[in-house]
Structure 1
Amino acid sequence: MSTTTPTPQPGTTKEASPVFLENMDQLQTLFNQFDANKDGKISAAELGDVLKAMGSNYTEEELKRAMEDIDTDKDGFINLSEFSSLCRSSSDAVTAASELRDAFDLYDQDKNGLISASELHLVLNRLGMTCSVDDCVRMIRSVDSDRDGNVNFEEFKKMMSASMPSNDRI
C-alpha cells in the first residue's frame, strides 16, 4: 500500500495545518458544514449554531470576539479565505492532536472509545446533515479496519488524515 503526502500550500508545511484539513476539498467540505444557508459565508449565528450543536457553551460576547478575530475584512461574515486562515492558525502539532481528540469525543457520545453508527447518525443530524443510520453504517464500514462495526480513535485519525471523497468522511 503506497501513500502520498499532499504538497503543502505555499508558506505552509504539513505540520502547519490541522491533521484533518490537508487539501482544499476537505476545507471546503468543513466550511460548507458551517455555512447552513449555503450563501458562501458563515454568519455569527451559523458559527454559534455549530458550536452549540457540538456542545460548546459560548457566551454572546465570546462569539462576538471570535467573529471579530476571524472576520479580517470586517464585513460581518467569515468567508472561505478567512476560514482557511483560521484552520491553518492551529499550527502546533499538540493543538492539532488535541483538536482531533475533541472531534472524536464529539462523536463518541457514550464515551466508550468507539463511534457507533447510531452515535454518528445522532451527531450528524444535530449538525443539520441528513443521513440514515444505514448511510452511517456504510461510512463506518469504509474505515473500520478491525471490522468491529465501530470507529476507534486510531481508525478516526487515519480516516481524517486520508484524502477521501467528502461523503465518506465522518
Structure 2
Amino acid sequence: MATNPSPNSKPSTYLQDMDEVRQVFERFDANKDGKISADELGGVLNALGSDTSAEEVARMMQEIDADKDGYINLQEFAAFCNKDSDDPHKSADKELREAFELYDQDQNGKISAAELHKILTRLGEHCSEQDCAGMIKTVDSDGDGYVSFEEFRKMMTNSNSNSGDAK
C-alpha cells in the first residue's frame, strides 16, 4: 500500500508537484497501461543516451518497485521522485545535475540547440532544431547560444517556484 508524503516533506526542485510527476511517469509508460515495466524504464534511459545495462535497470526496478509486482506504479514513482527530501537542497542539486548531464551529450558543460533537439526527438517530441534554439534563447541569460548548468538551474527553480502563482 502506497503512502502519501507527509505535508511537511518538500518535493524535490526537479519534480515540484504531482502533475509534473504524473507527466514524467506517463513519458516512461510507453504502452499507457498505468505502470512502468523494466523494458519501458530501460527504453527511456537509452533514449536519453544512458548506457544503462539490463542489470542496472533490474536494480533500479527493485529499488523503486515497493510492492514487488514487477512494475512501477504512479505512487511508487512519486515516492521515488520525492525520496531524499530530508535534505531538499542536496537532493535537488544532484537531480538537476543528472538531468543537465543527460541533455549535455558532449559533456562540455553547455546544452546546445542540437543536443536539446536530439533528446526531445528521442523522447517523441516533434520540434525542429530552430524551435530548440528558441527555447534556449528564453533561458540563455549570457547570450552565448547555450544553456549552462547555472542557467538550467535558474530555469528549473524559477519555473517550479512560479508554477502555482499563475493560477
Would you call these one fold, judging by a TM-score over 0.5?
A: yes
Residue 132 of structure 1 pairs with residue 128 of structure 2: yes
Q: Distance in 2 between matches of 1:123 and 1:88?
A: 24
Q: Distance in 2 between matches of 1:132 and 1:111?
A: 22
- Residues 90 and 33 (structure 1 numbering): CA distance in 2 closer, same or farther, change over 3 Å? farther
Residue 101 of structure 1 pairs with residue 97 of structure 2: yes
Q: Distance in 1 between matches of 2:35 and 2:133?
A: 31
Residue 118 of structure 1 pairs with residue 149 of structure 2: no
Shift of 1:45: 0.4
Q: After TM superposition, which residue ranges in structure 1, 4 or more long, deviate above 4 angstroms?
A: none
> Residue by residue, what CA displacement relative to the aligned partner does 1:22-61 show, whole Å, maximum 9, x if unpaired?
1122212221221222332211101011222333333323
Residue 52 of structure 1 pairs with residue 49 of structure 2: no
Farther off after superposition, 132-141 or 149-158: 132-141
Residue 67 of structure 1 pairs with residue 86 of structure 2: no
From 1, 6, 19, the equivalent of 1:25 is: 19
Percentage of pairs with the same residue: 55
> How big is the alpha-carbon RMSD for the aligned residues of Structure 1 and Structure 2?
2.4
* Cross-structure match for 2:7: 10
* SS of residue matched to 1:18: coil
Return the TM-score normalized by structure 1.
Answer: 0.77
* SS of residue matched to 1:112: coil
From 139, 143, 166, the equivalent of 1:143 is: 139
Farther off after superposition, 70-79 or 39-48: 70-79
* SS of residue matched to 1:140: helix
Shift of 1:96: 2.9
- Residues 68 and 28 (structure 1 numbering): CA distance in 2 closer, same or farther, change over 3 Å? same
From 88, 93, 107, the equivalent of 2:82 is: 88
* Cross-structure match for 1:36: 30
Structure 1: tracts of 5 or more residues without a match: 1-7, 166-170
Structure 2: tracts of 5 or more residues without a match: none
- Residues 140 and 39 (structure 1 numbering): CA distance in 2 closer, same or farther, change over 3 Å? farther
Farther off after superposition, 92-101 or 21-30: 92-101
- Residues 113 and 68 (structure 1 numbering): CA distance in 2 closer, same or farther, change over 3 Å? closer
**Cα pair 2:49 2:105 within 8 Å, conserved:** no
Return the TM-score normalized by structure 2.
Answer: 0.78
Shift of 1:9: 6.2
